[in-house]
Structure 1
Amino acid sequence: MNLNSNANGLAGLKVMVIDDSKTIRRTAETLLRKEGCEVLTAVDGFEALAKIAEHKPAIIFVDIMMPRLDGYQTCALIKNNPQFRGTPVIMLSSKDGLFDKARGRIVGAEQYLTKPFTRDELLGAIQRHVGQPA
């Protein structure tokens, strides 16, 4: 799939972005909407879990450092639910540590992106985990 094929491959794809930073949510939402994705956002894990159950996104991007329920806990809860175990979860963090990446793997995250992420990183993650032709 060509990442420049605007709105073709990703049109209608439900993507969830969970981050307590309004800037990050808005940036990701703008990038993904341009590609034709349907974007759901949440400020923390609690808000996200309710929306995930209702909307069933195809892929979830989750920030690690959040109040109340952090990204690791959120990812673990998603992966512990049989209905969403297969949903790819991509961790987002401003830290690029080996420990953080390992911890993300332990709770079941498919990938780890360091913030600030680029458009290509965001779309590349979607293509890698969802965008494969069936």
Structure 2
Amino acid sequence: MSEYIEFLKEVFEEFGPIHPRRMFGGYGLFHKGLMFALVADDVLYLKADESLSGFFEERGLDQFQYEKHGKTIKMSFYMAPEEIFDDPVEAKGWAVRSYEAAARANKPVKKVQKKRRFRFDP
């Protein structure tokens, strides 16, 4: 495991245990089974949704993106603000918000049941 991942475990100590998993050529950071962050090229990105992305954009933090088949794919993760690396309380606050965004995104989609048709044959 990389030194950067070990460092992030310390950064998020106030938030609680995180479990890194190798993915995307980097790492996904999980807490209680939900991926709330990812690490690519030793850069930390935090999960965001519509209610949270504005906080990242106001601070000029870049959205995670990659190239696939000549197209740019943007994911719902944004570069973490620098202040979280020096302030455990700030790190916890951002982690909680990102974890909540992951939880909202993880809600199961309700399937619409097809109407059953009954045949009546006398």
Shorter-chain TM-score range: 0.3 to 0.5
* Structure index of larger Rg: 2
Higher helix share: 1
Higher strand share: 2
